[in-house]
Each structure stands twice: as structure tokens, then as C-alpha cells.
Amino acid sequence: QVQLVESGGGLVQPGGSLRLSCAASGIIFRAYAMAWYRQAPGKQRELVASITPVGSTNYVFSVKGRFTISRDNAKNTVYLQMNSLKPEDTAVYYCKSHDVAAAYWGQGTQVTVSS
């Protein structure tokens, strides 16, 4: 059974930092592309950052230079380091794993940026 478990969300002030983690089980982690999505209230879910099995990364323009996605294949974990957070980054953040055959989602972790 595939499981993706996100952690690390919370309440942070504008300009602060958070590090999200997503621990995967039930998949051959090193073979999967991984991604972080987010969904704010009343908005569609959007791709924030992605990382291929060999470590190539991609970011949505609004987070470039502030967020960093990384993976540790030995720990079956993908991370999202979020710096210089803004109120508009407030959302539920979801982890996704995918290959050509399947895609899996975590349950999400809430990130709230507010003073």
C-alpha cells in the first residue's frame, strides 16, 4: 500500500521559514518523480515545485528564489524548504509521487502565513 505522509506545516509570520517533509512508503522511491502542490481556499490546486528521479527541479514563478525542493532517496523523503514566506503562500500543501503508470497523493499539511 502506497503512503505519502506530509509534515512540517504550521503558522509562521511573514518573512519566516518552514520546511515540509513527505515520507513515502510502498513505492520504489528513487524511480518516482516527486512534487509539491498547494491549494488555497477557493482556488485550484497548483504545482509549486517538482523534482525528477535524477534531481532536476522546476518551480512555479511565484516561489522561485524562495523555495527549494530536494529529495533523500535513502530516507524515501522529499522536502520543501520555504523561505521569505508571504501571506499568499497560505494553503494546504500536498505531496505527489508519479511515474508513467501511476500517481499518488498525500493528505496535505496546512501552511498559514500571518502576523
Q: 43-46 — which CB contacts under 8 Å span 24+ positions?
A: 43/91, 45/94
C-alpha span between 55 and 74 (Å, rounded):
14
Average pLDDT, the chain: 96
The amino acid that residue 105 corresponds to is W
Report pLDDT digits (tens) over 46-56: 999 999 999 99
What pLDDT is recorded for position 72? Answer: 97
Report pLDDT digits (tens) over 33-74: 999 999 999 999 999 999 999 999 999 999 999 999 999 999
C-alpha span between 31 and 24 (Å, rounded):
12
* Percent of the chain clearing pLDDT 70 (strictly above): 100
End-to-end Cα spacing for the chain: 40
Q: Is a pLDDT exceeding 90 seen at residue 99? A: no
What pLDDT is recorded for position 74? Answer: 96
